[in-house]
Amino acid sequence: MKKMRLHIYIVLGIFLVGFILGTFLDLSLTEAIFSRDNGFGLTFAALGVIPGYMILAILGGGYFALGLHKDYKIIYKILCFVASVALAVLAVYFSGREIFGVNGFNQKQLNWLGYLICGVIALACGYLGYILTKKSKNDKLWLIYAITAACIFMALVPGVTLLKSIFHRPRYRSLSLYEGIDFHAWYQRCTNYKDLMGTYNLTSEEFKSFPSGHVGASAVFMIFALILPLLNKDFEKLQLPLFYAGFAYALLVGFTRILVGAHFLSDVSMGGLLTTVFILINNEVIIAIDKKKKLTLEEAE
């Protein structure tokens, strides 16, 4: 895990550079590439968060395997099964609502279909987590899974949601339509957003540009690369390629969010930055757990 520190810092640095550049170039960059009904961009808006949120389903399948196969006390087995269900439900809820929601294909009457699609995917991902965990001999997986789930939750819910509720930054797709909605830099709070909602008949979703939850969620995929070798050492050679594949995917999602006017460069960069900070925290905690485990084994010898 120590070898991943440098790569996490590299990704942090890239997102930070994007955030700084966005502070000065947000409007001009978005104006240059904006394409409201771009099919490629809308597809990623609808489906882009699924890989990231499905990490929760994988963790859920892992907890199910731990509860079923590990020699735990009955209370711990019950807690594993409860965690399994909770993580799967969260994965389906957060990803399913996006497919046909206002930031996806914008067909709210089909929201049930989005949950159904994500439910099927969550079952498959849960089974993957079950298989990987069942074969693992790491006795600290229950703790590693808990820390990983907590880091994902902290990055996406308090982090992203809290900032959105503070700044209420208008999305470019709305300000491009209505002259009365002004551009706001990320650090400029939109204090009259409620008046603008009433004037132009807009939902609060049009004032949640900063930061990007889509990029934050898609960047979560990088966490999978960190925990995979802990399930099986044979997967260690896949760690780095998967980590950068997750990063590349987050960049692609970020580009498409700018393309369709849902976010600015600073928005998508901050979304990625928040998740990567918690990826770093997750990595450091796992290193500490692994170090403590080794010390305990040495003392026993």
> For the ranges 28-37, 81-90, 133-142, which has the lowest average pLDDT?
133-142
The confidence score (pLDDT) of residue 172 equals: 96
Cβ neighbours, 10 Å, residue 131: 14
64 vs 155, more confident = 64
> For residue 173, how far is the Cα from the chain centroid?
23
CA terminus-to-terminus distance, the chain: 24
The confidence score (pLDDT) of residue 1 equals: 63
The confidence score (pLDDT) of residue 116 equals: 96
The confidence score (pLDDT) of residue 266 equals: 97
Q: Is the pLDDT of residue 296 over 50?
A: no
pLDDT in tens, 104-146: 888 889 999 999 999 999 999 999 999 999 888 888 888 899 9
The confidence score (pLDDT) of residue 34 equals: 95
The CA-atom distances, in angstroms, between 240 and each of 62, 98, 257 are 22, 29, 26
Q: How confident is the model at residue 294 (pLDDT cuts 50, 70, 90)?
A: low
The confidence score (pLDDT) of residue 299 equals: 41
Q: pLDDT above 70 covers what percent of the chain?
A: 96
The confidence score (pLDDT) of residue 273 equals: 95
Tokens at residue 136, please?
């693992």
The confidence score (pLDDT) of residue 176 equals: 93
- For residues 208 and 164, the answer to whether their CB atoms sit within 8 Å is yes
The confidence score (pLDDT) of residue 259 equals: 95
pLDDT in tens, 149-172: 999 888 888 778 889 999 999 999
The confidence score (pLDDT) of residue 298 equals: 39
